Structure 1
Amino acid sequence: MNLAVVLVSPKTPGNIGAAARAMLNMGARDLRLVAPRCDHLDSGAVAMAVHAADLLREARLYPTLREALADRDLSVGTTARLRADLPAPQHPGHLRPLVRAAAAPALVFGPEETGLINSDLEQCQVTVRVPTAEYASLNLAQAVLLVCYEFLQGVDELPERTRKTATREEMEAMYGHLHETMRLIGYTDAVRARHTLRLWRAVLDRALMSSAESRLFRGLLRQVAWKVEDAARRGPAALPPAQGPEPTEDTP
């Protein structure tokens, strides 16, 4: 499986090295670091990685999570907490078929002291929580080991997926376009826009759109913008007449 492990703003070299070792244990080799706060090639990281030092040397660094996920078609965020306005995290077993069916999935892990923040989780189509006892805080490397095990070693490989879904970059571009269109037509305002877009993300991410479908949706948005701008140029006479409610059987 072409699985990427994305560590967002990791703080200590030892945790990065231990996470790389956990990846190698489970058969993952694509390590991506987003704005790390330490040197991932520090001697402490290499020592903790043991035989996974090559993963550290081959790790790719990105300034933002969006760039780290740009070529992925499924992003799975990790969290131990329920978040307002965001879908509840799911058991790994429930997500395993979805991850196995993806062509290029990514597992996203947050900073050691805070985990992923809401703006990071918004970029993930689904979230996962490892079942634990009441104390749910896992060390970063422990979390990487357990989640990678669930998706890479938990069950036999499923048949290869034939339908390729859109990359996260294509989806993020579509959501940016949707946000602009919602503001243009007055569907939402600056105060409610973020909450409204979260709800639309949840709906559209479940659709697992293909690249062609995301382009189709953006074509609709472009037509909406053109229609609004054309009506503004032509003045009030160009606007369609207001329609009353549809007649019912009780309407005289």
Structure 2
Amino acid sequence: MNLAVVLVSPKTPGNIGSAARAMLNMGARDLRLVAPRCDHLDSGALAMAVHAADLLREARVYPTLREALADRDLSVGTTARLRADLPPPQHPAYVRPLVRAAAAPALVFGPEESGLINSDLEQCQVAVRVPTGDYASLNLAQAVLLVCYEFLQGQEELPERQRKTATREEMEAAYGHLHETMELIGYTDAVRARHTLRLWRALLDRALMSSAESRLFRGFLRQVKWKVEDAAARGTVQPRGEAAPEGGASEPDATAP
């Protein structure tokens, strides 16, 4: 499986090295670090990585989570907490079919002391929580080991996926476009925009759009912008069903029998 493990702002070299070792144990090799707060090639990291030192050396570093997820078609965030306006985390067993069906999935882990923040989880289509006792805080490497185990062990041979899911970069671009369109037509305002967009993200992420479908959606948004700007230039909004100006075709009323 082409699985990437993404560590967001890790603080301790030893934890990064231990996470790399956990990945190697489970057969994952694509380690991505987002704005790390330490040197991932520090002697402490290499010592904890043991035989995963090469994996550490091959790790890619990104300034933002969005860039780290740009080529992924499924991103799974990890959290032990319920968040307002965000879907609750699921048991890994429920998410396993999604991960195994994806062409390029990513598992996203937050900083040791705080975990992923809401803006990070917004960029993940689904979140998981490792079942624990009352004390739910796991060491970073423990979390990597357990979640990778859930998704990588005992894999069955799956047929090649026929439908290519849009990458996270394609979906983030679509959400930015959607945000602009909502503001353009007065669907939301600066106060409500973030909450409203979270609801749309949850809806559209569940659809697992293909690349072609994301382009189709953005084409619709471009047409909305053109229509609004055209009406503003004319100084009026053309009523539904009204004949188009000479030389243009009118669209049928969607409510007509």
Q: Which amino acid in 2 is paired with 1:170?
A: E
Q: Which amino acid in 1 is paired with 2:182?
A: M
Structure 1 segment 169-188 matched on structure 2, within 5 A: 169-188=169-188
CA distance in 2, matches of 1:204, 1:221: 14
Identity %: 89
Q: Which amino acid in 1 is paired with 2:179?
A: H
Equivalence for 1:33:
33
Which deviations, in whole Å up to 9, do the C-alpha atoms of 1:10-58 show, x marking residues without a partner?
0000000000000000000000000000000000000000000001100
Which deviations, in whole Å up to 9, do the C-alpha atoms of 1:205-248 show, x marking residues without a partner?
00000000000000000000000000000012x43279xxx9xx
The CA deviation at 1:160 is 3.1
CA distance in 2, matches of 1:55, 1:9: 18
CA distance in 2, matches of 1:218, 1:152: 34
The CA deviation at 1:180 is 0.1
Equivalence for 2:54:
54
The CA deviation at 1:161 is 1.9
SS in 2 for 1:61: strand
CA distance in 1, matches of 2:3, 2:216: 28
Equivalence for 1:197:
197
CA distance in 2, matches of 1:155, 1:105: 14
CA distance in 1, matches of 2:240, 2:90: 47
Structure 1 segment 220-231 matched on structure 2, within 5 A: 220-231=220-231
Query: Is 1:145 aligned to 2:145, yes or no?
Result: yes
- Contact 1:92–1:150 at 8 Å: present in 2 too? yes
With normalisation by structure 1, the TM-score equals 0.94
Equivalence for 2:121:
121
- Contact 1:100–1:157 at 8 Å: present in 2 too? no
SS in 2 for 1:191: coil
CA distance in 1, matches of 2:154, 2:9: 28
SS in 1 for 2:196: helix
Which deviations, in whole Å up to 9, do the C-alpha atoms of 1:60-107 show, x marking residues without a partner?
000000000000000000000000000000000000000000000000
- Contact 1:10–1:37 at 8 Å: present in 2 too? yes
Which deviations, in whole Å up to 9, do the C-alpha atoms of 1:94-137 show, x marking residues without a partner?
00000000000000000000000000000000000000011100
Structure 1 segment 1-252 matched on structure 2, within 5 A: 1-236=1-236, 238-240=237-239
* Structure 2 alignment gaps of length 5 or more: 242-254
The CA deviation at 1:163 is 1.1
- Contact 1:184–1:225 at 8 Å: present in 2 too? yes
The CA deviation at 1:157 is 4.0
SS in 2 for 1:169: helix
4+ residue runs over 6 A deviation: none
Q: Which amino acid in 2 is paired with 1:37?
A: R
With normalisation by structure 2, the TM-score equals 0.92
* Structure 1 alignment gaps of length 5 or more: 247-252
CA distance in 1, matches of 2:131, 2:156: 21
SS in 2 for 1:186: coil
Range 150-159 or range 134-143, more displaced: 150-159
Q: Which amino acid in 1 is paired with 2:171?
A: M
CA distance in 2, matches of 1:159, 1:95: 19
Which deviations, in whole Å up to 9, do the C-alpha atoms of 1:137-171 show, x marking residues without a partner?
00000000000000000553433322110000000
Q: Which amino acid in 2 is paired with 1:215?
A: R
SS in 1 for 2:149: helix
